[in-house]
A and B are shown apart, each in its own frame.
Chain A
């Protein structure tokens, strides 16, 4: 079963606007990761945030983590047409149940119009 749930399922914005995607999960986690998938097949790792971190930046990406709400958000600033892709969060379970298993959500499909 999937652990994370992203919302919205689909997002369409104009180039230059910011895009925000959210991920909620159910159990305690060790870390949360965001991946991108272009139409095609391979996923590309974007950013990893640990359970003791609240915010992380990488270029135009900003990720927040709220463990009390079991949620994370990915913000892409000044979006470009090339950012058009599907974005997935993935969680590594924490605590005694930690098996090293990465569980993915259903993803948000982002379309950036030029």
Chain B
């Protein structure tokens, strides 16, 4: 595609529910990043993939968060038992080579847990 696509753009869910956020990276980009951004803060690193494998998941806050990229393209960020503190904008980015080249960001998914 022309750019990084994230769906949905907005998601409202009840506390305790499970949510999935999807990211379609730019075709051919091997690296894919997930970030979380709260109002007035910088993007907080969650996880990045090189191909199908999670190269660094040190930013995932706890075991309620999980991400997959089974075919090395589309990625899904999964959040179980959502809490109000999970409310944020979740950003996805992709790049040709992890960190060495520029990252292209999607428009994000705004998650609101009520």
Contacts and interface: CB of A to CB of B under 8 A. Distances in A.
Contacts of A31: 99-100
Nearest to A30: B99
Interface in A1-36: 2, 4, 30-31, 33, 35
Interface residues of A, number: 26
Interface in B66-114: 89, 91, 93, 97-108, 110
Residues of B in contact with A, size category: 20 to 34
5 contacts: A41-B89, A88-B42, A101-B45, A104-B35, A104-B45
Interface of A: 2, 4, 30-31, 33, 35, 40-45, 48, 88, 90, 92, 98-107
Interface of B: 31, 33, 35, 37, 41-45, 48, 50, 55-56, 58-59, 89, 91, 93, 97-108, 110
